[in-house]
Amino acid sequence: MTAHDFHPTVLREYDIRGIVDQTLSTKDATAIGRAFGTMVGGAGKTICLGYDGRLSSPSLAAALAEGLLSTGVNVKRVGLGPTPMLYFAVKHLQADAGIMVTGSHNPSDYNGFKMTLYTGPVFGEEILKLGKVAASGKFATGKGEIEDLDIQDVYVERLLKDYEGPRDLKVVWDAGNGATGEILRRLVKKLPGTHTLLFDDIDGKFPNHHPDPTVEENLVDLKRVVAEKGADLGIGFDGDGDRIGAIDGKGRVVWGDQLLAIYATEVLVTHPGAMIIADVKASQVLFDEIKRLGGQPLMWKTGHSLLKAKMAETGSPLAGEMSGHIFFGDKWYGFDDALYCGVRLLSLVSKSGKQLADLVDTLPKVFNTPETRFQVDESRKFEVVKEVKQRLLDAKVEVNDIDGVRVKTDDGWWLLRASNTQDVLVARCEASSEAGLDRLKKLLTAQLKQSGINAPANF
């Protein structure tokens, strides 16, 4: 077998991702198959394979399968669908591992690979190890068998299993032309209530809007149709269906940390005193609410793989992050599945006898920025955070440095961290008043300026 080197930008912290035919090719896909098949153990092992709706995904999946089979691994192809369907297939079929061809929420010219073992995600050092195996050319050899499996109906039935809503709801769903479309159509046919679907045709060109529900401008259509239909709520998905976005009946975005706080009210009844985990970008309101409900809040590093791993380590029944990756250990498998999160949200709202907007309004009112991204050179992003941290420590400021810097003041808190997947710095501020929020933004802006970074005019 020939040794293979990847473009230096594609091996990421949580997955493999690049620009098709520039930094990522079918040759890369074959090498990933050989390296991953070797790492899983070669002959006698079983790996599930799925792909999303991007135009390049079928050819990458075919090249990937070729690489996997050459190591002696048996491949079970589950076809086109969301990433969590692939995760479900690994659990349901008790496979050794799974690999998904997906560009997640990146632009349409990107694609990539998310990998999992039966026991949990593949990330960080394991992804670097995959690169080293490929570079060595020392691959397992064999002749694996391939099988096509249609698990869509089985997956839908499992999604529906934990729905317990006694009251019919009116719901609008926005698939964003991503990989959830077909599953969503099958799902809503079996859910009670009235359902309106937007952009459920899977189209890798994403002709209507970018499939990222954490960016408010991508929720314009969902907000409009929720208002036109007088719906109880709206739910949106990212390109590969592992992140959820939500709109309440008043047309407000319900962010990931607010959803976690609402889910916690139910989960902590079943698991009193349990640990619930959220990333460093989450509101202090969430951590306070978990404590008020009798749970143990844990602030952890941002990153879906990091949170899944921490959840498995602690036995937590619920975890999540601002970006809409939410993980149920309660009744589910611990992986991020936005379709399942949608079902659980409808069930919870229906059982509550209230509207989602009412549940949001029970949370304390704070003033905060959304997750704000500042473009910065890749070579500078981690250095800037180090510089800010050192200046704060020199000034005797207490810093939470579990992931970047999170700083408490009398007004509230602010955060600066480097993205693991993009050439950006991520910032967030939260205060108890608008004046306090302005002061926090000025503190953060001043720190950025000292490191040669100008905050955007709209921050």
How is the chain split into domains, by residue range?
Answer: 16-150, 154-361, 367-450
pLDDT digits (tens, 9 = 90+) for 429-449: 999 999 999 999 999 999 999
Distance CA 428, CA 257 (A): 13
Listed range (67-71, 82-86, 317-321, 379-383) with the worst mean pLDDT: 379-383
Distance CA(119)–CA(395), nearest Å, equals 44
Confidence of residue 93 (pLDDT cuts 50, 70, 90): very high
pLDDT at 106: 87
According to DSSP H, which parts of 281-329 are helical?
Answer: 284-292, 304-314
What is the mean predicted confidence (pLDDT) over 123-152?
96
Question: How far from 437 is each of 49, 288, 357, 447, CA to CA, in Å?
Answer: 46, 19, 24, 16
Region 32-38 average pLDDT: 98
Residue 361 clears pLDDT 80, i.e. is over it? yes
Cα 141 versus chain centre, distance: 34
Query: How far apart (Å, rounded) are the C-alpha atoms in residues 118 and 96?
Result: 5
Please tell me whether residue 220 adopts helix, strand or coil conformation: helix
**Euclidean distance between CA atoms 155 and 43, whole angstroms:** 28
Q: Which CATH architecture has domain 16-150?
A: 3-Layer(aba) Sandwich (3.40)
Per-residue pLDDT of 170-200, as tens digits, reads 999 999 999 999 999 999 999 999 999 999 9
SS3 of residue 248 by DSSP: strand
Q: For residue 210, which phi and psi values (nearest 5 degrees)?
A: -65, 135
Which pTM was predicted? 0.95
pLDDT surpassing 90 at residue 314: yes
State residue 105's pLDDT score. Answer: 86
Spell out the residues 6+ positions from residue 42 whose beta carbon is closer than 8 angstroms to its own: 71, 72, 73, 140, 141, 142
pLDDT score at 287: 97
The reported pLDDT for the residue numbered 206 is 96
Q: Beta strands 372-375 and 74-80: pairing type? A: unpaired
Has residue 456 got a pLDDT over 80? no
Whole-angstrom distance, CA of residue 73 vs CA of residue 34: 9
- Tell me what pLDDT residue 168 has: 97
Average pLDDT over the chain, rounded to an integer: 95
pLDDT of residue 294: 98
- Would you say residue 458 has pLDDT above 80? no
**CA 300, 234, 170 angle in degrees (round to 5)?**
135
Q: How far apart are CA 53 and CA 207, in angstroms?
A: 13
In 3D space, the residue among 302, 418, 335 whose CA is nearest the CA of residue 120 turns out to be: 335
- pLDDT reading at 260 higher than 90: yes
- Distance (Å, rounded) from C-alpha 374 to C-alpha 381? 10
For residue 270, which of 293, 244, 289, 291 has the smallest C-alpha distance? 293
Which residue has 């691959």 as its token pair? 139
Taking residues 33-46, report their average pLDDT. Answer: 97
Given the residues 25, 57, 104, 350, select the one marked as catalytic: 104
Is 56 noted as a catalytic residue in this protein? no
Q: Assess contact for 447 and 388: CB atoms under 8 A.
A: yes
Residue with tokens 């317990």, as numbered in its chain: 164
pLDDT of residue 227: 98
Q: Report the percentage of the chain scoring pLDDT > 90.
A: 91
| Mean pLDDT, range 361-385, rounded to an integer | 91
Q: Choose the CATH number for 367-450 among 3.30.310.50, 3.40.50.1100, 3.50.50.60, 3.40.50.300.
A: 3.30.310.50
> Do 117 and 96 contact (CB within 8 A), yes or no?
yes
Tell me: pLDDT of 424 over 70. yes
- In order of 12, 46, 77, 223, the CA distances from 49 in angstroms are 20, 10, 5, 35
pLDDT digits (tens, 9 = 90+) for 337-355: 999 999 999 999 999 999 9
CB within 8 Å of 275: residues ≥ 6 apart: 295, 296, 297, 298, 314, 315, 316
Please check whether the two domains, 154-361 and 367-450, share a CATH topology: no
Q: Are the beta carbons of 317 and 268 closer than 8 angstroms? A: no
Contact 306, 123 (CB under 8 A): yes
| CATH code, residues 154-361 | 3.40.120.10
Q: Give the tokens for residue 201.
A: 């045709």
pLDDT at residue number 322: 92
Give the largest Cα separation in the chain, rounded. Answer: 66
Distance between CA atoms of 92 and 95, rounded to whole angstroms? 8
Q: Which token pair is 276?
A: 């619930």
pLDDT for residue 1: 62
Residue 356 structure tokens: 């989602």
Whether the per-residue pLDDT at 372 is higher than 90: the answer is no
218-236 residue pLDDT tens: 999 999 999 999 999 999 9
